Chains A and B, each alone.
Chain A
């Protein structure tokens, strides 16, 4: 029997997570070894919010009845999960072998300089975030940069500003000024 306090906590957690994730967790809890579905639950949460916030992980912990330290331990182990909100436009720069030898590092440097953020971060105006990809399977087009789902091939550092311009980049706004 669940205590009143426990039911209250659960109700709070259910408000934080979107309904499909809540019902997915409930279906997982019917299965044997429900804790083994933690990663897929975290994927769904990140898919919805674009990142994992403290309150999202706390809610997952309560609804799945997995200790929070374990939830954050799993989430922080995998590079795929990120803990800051992503930008409206998600930029991925491939640092796989082919892209790297063709100068992707320099493209990334230019990107970081223009947006004034590091890998894994988001601009203050929440328009752009940078992630690093490990080979997107288009080595012939190296170096490759993705903005959302669009692929940019053979990118040179001095083309970065123009590409960002297509998405309404404004250096001042990006820096929150």
Chain B
């Protein structure tokens, strides 16, 4: 075994030993010196574009960018000096001078990295104000692009390419006209964008933000003719607490329900119910396909970012993708059919709000395939976790001090299998719990499928079901999904069922989730792990842990739907896909 080569250097007079090929920034981080930084992101490639992280190195004529300057033996580094403080302040001020002066009215007010950096570095006056770049704001899609607020750090370009494999965004033109935009500067809605929102998550400013739905929801809540119902995705209960100072991974479903009632929603349902229903439909679809040995592997369809990606990049996989609507769309459909009928309400008077960890859900809700026969959307508004946090704050709801409430029946009753939908591997685990027992007629000894848990990009397992080996693949983050699908296409891998979630870590790290708390960052595997843990603990504590044992689901089939995959189910709970143009380059 060869021992790893180590380098010893001095950072601010402190002796540091780090692995060879480390950067100065990494060496400084290891002794808790947090060199100010902006374009740098630990999980993306390093480009050294912003020059905020400059440090002085003895023997170097000019300060160097510590994020990309490799350490050498005996190097002497200074991370703070009058010169460095002035340089960093000026760099940030120059960025600000090309930036709209509207911090107070900006949606990132308080969560903006540029704003924080300007304060930390001591920008107190504006010395270089002059001509400012002007661009149009693109509000064509659920992901709004405002190049005037862009500081050209390129994080969005990198996450779109390196993590999601979409590469919709790139720097276009040069100099003063340099702008982050899709090919041909197309509108986002006409581009290959899949609306996953990871650009929103990594953006340090408000150059990328989600389309606002809060106004629409407030309007509905104050309309006396509307019956306003809300349902919350599995992942929300694990993350919304962060908006009120809770540690990531604190489950707060009870407080969430109470807060929603206080906000004025007439009924508070659980997207989990839709998730249980998805499992019943999807597992019977799977059982049917595996018995007939056709259209395998079955690929899950809950993640709307993945569905968009599949239609643009892998349209050849349309026949393999489950026709099941997502839990959100299943439940919203039931609210305007089954629930409306039961309550004697005109579906037109019901306003359905879905709280989702996701920007692509806003796209899904508006898809033509998800409109009722009369052309109305089943889901009227989709709020991201971030938007709901803001609404609670706006209403002055003291979230931390609330008593626990519980979801309304029957569309709020759910199994633990539904809770784990919010983590990568969770949909698979939930499906296996049901498919195994349905095929074999036997009870599972352990309900925990640890092989598909965890935040690794690709996970695999094989399961013996009734003498048959079922090969299972799970991918999260679309670049990982690409790698997995390419191995399927080459014949290297043969799976029977594949789960894909667009966002790295699954919905807990979706494009609509809270900006990470201090000390953590977007794409941080630890953050996804902590949030997922909350979901697994909820599942573990429930006595009802299998979708097919959910009594509310059983009576829904008896009362309304008939058998799984029946004609009525297909009409209401299933959808279809189409190849989309422009095609993406894989």
Residue positions of A touching B, CB distance < 8 A = 1, 3-6, 9, 54, 57-58, 61-62, 65-73, 76-77
Contacts and interface: CB of A to CB of B under 8 A. Distances in A.
B582 interface: yes
Interface residues of B, number: 26
B170 interface: yes
B173 A77 contact: yes
Contacts of A77: 171, 173-174
Nearest to B193: A69
Contact of B583 (A9, A54, A72, A73): A9
Interface in B154-200: 161, 167-174, 181-185, 191-192
B315 interface: yes
B410 interface: no
B579 interface: yes
Contacts of B170: 67, 69-70, 72-73
A3 B489 CA distance: 9
Nearest to B315: A5
Given A3-B316, A57-B184, A68 B174 contact: no
18 contacts: A1-B490, A3-B316, A6-B316, A9-B583, A57-B184, A58-B582, A65-B586, A67-B170, A68-B585, A69-B168, A69-B170, A69-B172, A69-B191, A71-B183, A73-B170, A73-B172, A77-B173, A77-B174
Interface of B: 161, 167-174, 181-185, 191-192, 315-316, 489-490, 579, 582-586
Nearest to B165: A67
Nearest to B316: A3
Contact of B183 (A3, A5, A6, A72): A72
A65 B192 CA distance: 14
Given A69-B169, A72-B170, A5 B184 contact: no
Nearest to A68: B183
Given A57-B184, A58-B582, A77-B174, A69 B315 contact: no
Given A5-B316, A57-B184, A72 B172 contact: yes
B93 to A, nearest CB: 27
B172 A67 contact: no
Given A5-B315, A58-B582, A67-B167, A72 B161 contact: no
A62 B585 contact: yes
Contact of A54 (B168, B172, B182, B184): B184
A67 B316 contact: no
The 9 closest A-B pairs by CB, nearest first: A67-B167, A68-B183, A69-B170, A73-B170, A3-B316, A69-B183, A72-B183, A76-B173, A67-B585
Given A72-B170, A76-B174, A67 B183 contact: yes
A65 B585 CA distance: 6
Contacts of B182: 69
Contacts of A71: 183
Contacts of B583: 5, 9, 62
Contacts of B582: 58, 68
A111 B223 CA distance: 63
A57 B191 CA distance: 14
A53 B4 CA distance: 52
A54 B185 CA distance: 11
B585 A72 contact: no
B150 to A, nearest CB: 14
A9 B580 CA distance: 12
Given A65-B586, A76-B172, 12 more contacts: A3-B316, A54-B184, A57-B183, A61-B585, A62-B583, A67-B183, A69-B167, A69-B169, A69-B183, A71-B183, A72-B185, A73-B171
B177 to A, nearest CB: 8
Nearest to A78: B174
B184 A67 contact: no
A90 B184 CA distance: 25
Nearest to B586: A65
A5 B585 contact: no
Nearest to B168: A69
A4 B319 CA distance: 14
Contacts of A58: 183, 582
B65 to A, nearest CB: 22
A42 to B, nearest CB: 14
Contacts of A65: 585-586
A62 B316 CA distance: 16
B581 to A, nearest CB: 9
A3 B488 CA distance: 13
Contacts of B490: 1
A68 B586 CA distance: 11
Contacts of A68: 183-184, 192, 582, 585
Contacts of A70: 167, 170
B279 to A, nearest CB: 30
A170 to B, nearest CB: 34
B272 to A, nearest CB: 36
A133 B161 CA distance: 35
Contacts of B183: 57-58, 61, 67-69, 71-72
A69 B168 CA distance: 6
A54 B183 CA distance: 9
A5 B582 CA distance: 13
Nearest to A1: B489
A67 B161 contact: yes
Contacts of A6: 316
Which residue among A6, A65, A66, A67 has the maximum number of chain B CB atoms within 10 Å of its CB?
A67
A24 B268 CA distance: 61
A70 B170 CA distance: 6
A67 B168 CA distance: 7
Contacts of A1: 489-490
A19 B169 CA distance: 30
Contacts of B168: 67, 69
A70 B161 CA distance: 10
A54 B582 CA distance: 12
B494 to A, nearest CB: 15
A72 B168 CA distance: 11
Contacts of B585: 61-62, 65-68
Contacts of B315: 3, 5
Which residue among B174, B315, B585 has the maximum number of chain A CB atoms within 10 Å of its CB?
B585
A71 B192 CA distance: 14
Nearest to A72: B183
Nearest to A64: B585
A51 B413 CA distance: 62
A6 B489 CA distance: 13
B318 to A, nearest CB: 10
Contacts of B161: 67
A10 B586 CA distance: 14
Nearest to A61: B585
B52 to A, nearest CB: 24
Which residue among A1, A61, A62, A76 has the maximum number of chain B CB atoms within 10 Å of its CB?
A76
